[in-house]
Homo-oligomer: A and B are copies of this chain.
Amino acid sequence: MTQNLQESAFLKACRREPAPYTPIWLMRQAGRYMEVYRKIRQRYTMLETVNQPELAAEVTLQPIEAFPLDAAIIFSDILPPLVGMGLDLEFVKQVGPKIHNPARTEEDIKALQVRPPEETMAGTLDAIKIVVRELASRNIPLIGFAGAPFTLASYAVEGGGSKTYINTKTLMFKRPDLWHELMEKLTQVQADYLIAQAEAGASALQVFDSWVGAALNEEAFKKYVKPYNKKLIEKIRSAGKPIIHFCKGTGLYIHEVADCGGDVLGVDWHQDLGQTWETVGDGFGVQGNLDPALLLAPWEELKIHVDRILDQAAGRPGHIFNLGHGLFPTTDEDQVRRLVDYVHEKTQRS
């Protein structure tokens, strides 16, 4: 079985080997756009769904049952590891994540704990084991994931989402000593967590730096973030799984992102996939990069953009088709099916 899994289109593409067709999975493929998901979330909160292994496994498998996707990604969120560090996380309806005790002072940051993921993220690790068993017979790999240190730090400091990241940047600029302490802790927690996901059976590991591009320019990225993303990737290398590194909004300094390492570079929908691949070179696979808003367009319009991406990646092994950001809740399930089928049909090579 394991042998076959390694021969799956997704893992071949991760290794930049020629695949029988371009593999596709979609960020937020398990989520609100699916009726079966909405039904579950009527009964359980976000954190309940994440923390109950059977439930998280069920949600992870929902899109796999519905569409011929080439990889599953464990259903979770990037924020739960903050709970194990001592932060009081709540997903507030209509608002989003809130941390009721944000970490802004020296005392707050020194109090953050680095505990083993087997204690703090047991629900997700157990969910991975269940999903991997279920997927074995279908030869579909499971992706484990975690947030990158900056994105987690921004939530920890701001206490939620932000448009300006001003508290995070104030800490960074005024107290670089504390910033580095916070980033060191987060790097350790996330490295341990990703390695544990690999040990639980995940076949690939994705690191999401969702907000670093919105918050920081190249200079600040190099000084305050890059050393930690690099260190995180080096640490999880020992797990022996392909690493996908996705730093959203970093098109202006993607070469610096690439310099952090990893096997596959996530490309957001602002970037030009062809140009990005040329910039970072053949040492990387690329994953992306359709604007998820285009799934709300008529198929004839959507198709133009899908063709463009496939053309840009044609003739070069290592492309994983994906969106450049998560699926919108208003996406039609039929449109998702059409997209997945079309990518497979158009790229069939045998």
Contact = CB atoms under 8 A, between A and B. Distances in A.
Contacts of A251: 251-252
Interface size class of A (residues with CB under 8 A): 20 to 34
Interface string A132-175: 00000000000000000000000000000101111001100110
Contacts of A163: 161, 163
B293 A169 contact: yes
Interface stretch (A98-106, A108-116, A234-242, A267-275): A267-275
A291 B220 contact: yes
A34 interface: no
A67 interface: no
Interface stretch (A55-63, A68-76, A296-304): A296-304
B272 A218 contact: yes
A343 interface: no
A170 B296 contact: yes
A330 B294 CA distance: 38
Contacts of A169: 291, 293, 296
Contact of A297 (B173, B214, B217, B330): B173
A270 B293 contact: no
A328 interface: yes
B330 A293 contact: no
A149 B124 CA distance: 46
A6 to B, nearest CB: 35
Nearest to A269: B217
By Cβ-Cβ distance, the 9 closest A-B pairs, closest first, are A173-B297, A169-B293, A217-B270, A170-B296, A251-B252, A166-B328, A217-B269, A252-B270, A173-B301
11 contacts: A161-B163, A163-B163, A164-B328, A165-B293, A166-B330, A170-B296, A173-B293, A174-B298, A217-B269, A217-B291, A252-B271
